[in-house]
Structure 1
Amino acid sequence: MEDAPTVLVIGGGATGTGIARDLALRGISVMLAERNGLSSGASSRSHGLLHSGARYAEADRTGAEECIEENRVLRSIGGACIRNTGGLFIQLPEDDPDYFESKRAACESIGIETRVLDGNAARRVVPGLSERVERAMWVPDGVVYPSRLSAANAADAEEHGGTVFPHAPLENLTVEDGHIIQATLGGSVDATVAPQYVINATGAWAGQVAAMAGVDVEMAPSRGVMISVAYDALGPALNRCRDPDDGDIIVPHESEVVLGTTSVSVSDPDAYEEAEWEVEKSVQECAKMLPPVAEAAVVRTWWGVRPLYAPDEQKSNRRGISRGFFVLDHADDGVENFLSIVGGKLTTYRQMAEAVADRICSKLGVEAECQTATRPLPGADDPDRLDAFVAHYDAQGPTDSDVVKNGAAA
């Protein structure tokens, strides 16, 4: 094991593994450490929607532009890490028709493809769709299988000289003279390393990791429930066309659909209530769009914690507004070789990783260009190979456990 990597990435979700891949492809020595298996935080405890940007179009143009750009990139590089389903924004009688029109107009101005269907046309596309649906808007949403995505990024990082430790919790950071000089890793590593730079890509846990270096990163984590039910008749993802609220997304898999979600503030991303009302309300609200899910058998239920950055959240009290991402250079806080990446969405993980890698390359004087927007992920065209990566890195999570084959050998 190299004990002095140029960069140590803490956090093995989509963003962390994306950073490791990007840096390795640029020829930089990188080590990644995750505590509980890759993507064990928010990445594989999400609903797995590949956003087109339509959800945010009228509220946050920049965020929507980021989503549609990365949506197209992932479709070109992701292969079986994603599923091209399309999506429908559903208008019920109680939903404001002006909201529908403002979203459609915003999508058009951004360049997000849309197509409006009347209620009957929408029901032909989606058998079982509520008879109360008045109209729908097709957008290029899709599905992400985050276990495969994180594992494929990690595999490519290692293929290009990086090192990935899926069970190596960070235990301590030693700071001297304004620099992190050592990082102590436990678990399978049980060693101290001396990186030139440390990147904190731990999502909702970013504040806890930053505190180890004496830095304050104020997070505002929020939990949300997901319920996977047995239902194999849904093609496109469904979004309720209203201001974002509880129970307004249905994401199709192969023989199941994922219903979600809620948004409840938590103080500790490792210890929070899992309230039954969240399950009941999400199912009830989703059934207003697709009534059969109300009686479908529940396969599994899980909660995820969103990595929301407190200063960004304080700008608005509107739930569901697009959350941007932020690269925090802690040289401003007195620690010269420490960066945090916070906020963002699963859909924009690659763009977030590129922004961090650009910053590190600038500091190192490395002029290599980013390759991740055009280079396909390893195994993209081979689901069995992707699932072998998942097994190798212990990257399995509840979001896609119905799709990823268990027990594959690396």
Structure 2
Amino acid sequence: MNNRTDVLVVGGGATGTGIARDLALRGVDVTLAERGGLSAGTSGRSHGLLHSGARYAEADGPEARACLEESRTLAEIAGACVRETGGLFVQLTGDDPAYFEAKREACEEVGIPTEVVDGATARDEIPDLSDEVERAMRVPDGVVLPSRLVAANAADAREHGAEILTHAPVTDMRREDGRITEVDLGGEVGETIEPAYVVNAAGPYAGDVAALAGGTVDLRPTRGVMISVDYDRLEPVLNRCRDPDDGDIVVPHDDEVVLGTTSVPVDDPEEYERADWEVERSVEECAKMLPAVADAAHLRTWWGVRPLYEPEEAALDARGISRGFHLLDHADEDVANLATIVGGKLTTYRRMAEATADLACADLGIDADCETATRRLTGADDPERLDALVEEFDGQGPTDEDVVGV
């Protein structure tokens, strides 16, 4: 292994592997280090929604527009890593009709295609849909298979010269004259890397990684539960059209649906409570949209931890929606060659990676354009190859365990 590298990326989720791919396509020498297998953290423990932007339209128009644009990009470059299922925002009896109208108007302003149908029409499409659905709004939501997406980004990065190291936790960093000079990797690697630049894409562990170099990242991580149940008669994503709350999304897979989710602050992204009430409440609330899931067999239950950025979250209410990603340059903390990327969504990982790669290249004096929006991912058209890459990178997460053939 070459111990010198232009950029060391810490974190092997969608953002980290996306950054590695972006940099490698620009001709940058890049090494990625992940503490476990790829997609072991937030990316691989999500509900797998490919956002159209409708969920954020009335709260944050620019972020909604970014989701719309990036979901369209992924439809072009990601192949079997995504499914274009469509989505429905449903208004139940007792839900505020003004909220429905505000979302519809906001979607129109953002440019998100919508179609409003009455409850009877929606039930013709989804026979098990609740009788309480008064109307619904079609939007171009979809499903992303994060294990495949992350593995494909890593493989593409590797094909263009990147080194992908799994089970390689960062254990220490050393700096001289305000720059990181050495990074120790433990686990199965046991090597010291000498990077010119370090990108911290460690998700909920980003604060711990930054602290090794004397940097600070103020996170307010929250946990959320997902429950996969046995149900094979849903095609579009279902969203409850109300202020964000527990149990307001149902995401279809082949023979299952994923129900979620909750939002509970945690102190430690590794050790936290997995509460039964979260499961019970999520199922109960999702069943108000799709009653059949109330009695469906539970196949898998998992929690994910969101790396929400503290200064932003503190400005929102308890269940406020995070408004995009944050790219932190640690130069003002006397760590001139360290950047941290936090927040954001799986749907916008490629845009997050582009912004981060731009910053790293500026520091290194590299003039090269981003190409990730127009080049198809490695293996995108070959599900079997994608699944083999997931296995190679030890990248299987619970979100898409029923679909990915590992």
**TM-score tier (shorter):** over 0.9
Distance 1:158 1:379 in 2: 13
> How many Å apart are 1:177 and its aligned residue?
1.8
Letter in 2 for 1:39: S
Q: Secondary structure at the match of 1:386?
A: helix
Q: Secondary structure at the match of 1:59?
A: coil
Distance 1:114 1:367 in 2: 40
* Alignment correspondent of 2:401: 401
Distance 1:210 1:311 in 2: 17
Unaligned runs of 5+ in 1: none
Letter in 1 for 2:237: A
CA contact (8 A) 1:245 1:320 kept: no
* Alignment correspondent of 2:143: 143
CA contact (8 A) 2:38 2:166 kept: yes
* Alignment correspondent of 2:51: 51
* Alignment correspondent of 2:5: 5
Q: Give the direction of change, closer, same or farther, for the CA distance of 1:359–1:61 in structure 2 (3 Å limit).
A: same
CA deviations on 1:282-336 (whole Å, 9 max, x unpaired) are 0000000000000100001000000100011012115142431111110111101
CA deviations on 1:372-407 (whole Å, 9 max, x unpaired) are 00101011111001001101101100000000011x
Letter in 2 for 1:227: I
CA contact (8 A) 1:325 1:344 kept: yes
1:301 matched to 2:294? The reply is no
* Alignment correspondent of 1:72: 72
Q: Give the direction of change, closer, same or farther, for the CA distance of 1:203–1:339 in structure 2 (3 Å limit).
A: same
> How many Å apart are 1:204 and its aligned residue?
0.8
CA contact (8 A) 2:322 2:343 kept: no
* Alignment correspondent of 1:386: 386
* Alignment correspondent of 1:340: 340
1:15 matched to 2:3? The reply is no
Distance 2:307 2:124 in 1: 38
Letter in 2 for 1:142: G
Q: Secondary structure at the match of 2:43?
A: coil
Distance 2:176 2:380 in 1: 43
Distance 2:272 2:322 in 1: 24
TM-score normalised to structure 2 length = 0.99
* Alignment correspondent of 2:124: 124
Distance 1:143 1:352 in 2: 19
Letter in 2 for 1:198: V
* Alignment correspondent of 2:104: 104
Distance 2:359 2:125 in 1: 45
CA deviations on 1:195-239 (whole Å, 9 max, x unpaired) are 000100011111111111111111000000000000000010000
CA deviations on 1:98-141 (whole Å, 9 max, x unpaired) are 00000000000110000001001101111200011000000000
Letter in 2 for 1:356: T
Letter in 1 for 2:168: A
The equivalences for 1:2-401 within 5 A come to: 2-401=2-401
Distance 1:373 1:388 in 2: 24
CA contact (8 A) 1:114 1:138 kept: yes
Q: Secondary structure at the match of 2:155?
A: helix
Q: Considering only aligned residues, what root-mean-square deviation do their CA atoms show, in Å?
A: 0.7
- The range that moved more, 221-230 or 211-220, is 211-220
Letter in 1 for 2:171: E
Q: Secondary structure at the match of 2:102?
A: helix
> How many Å apart are 1:367 and its aligned residue?
1.6
Letter in 2 for 1:229: V
Distance 2:319 2:153 in 1: 31
> How many Å apart are 1:368 and its aligned residue?
1.3
Letter in 2 for 1:250: V
Letter in 2 for 1:138: R
Letter in 1 for 2:268: D
CA deviations on 1:12-44 (whole Å, 9 max, x unpaired) are 000000000000000000000001100100001
Unaligned runs of 5+ in 2: none
Letter in 2 for 1:238: L
TM-score normalised to structure 1 length = 0.98
Report percent identity of matched pairs.
66
CA deviations on 1:257-297 (whole Å, 9 max, x unpaired) are 00000000000000000000000000000000000000100
Q: Secondary structure at the match of 1:224?
A: strand
Letter in 1 for 2:341: I
CA deviations on 1:330-363 (whole Å, 9 max, x unpaired) are 0111101100001100000000000001111112
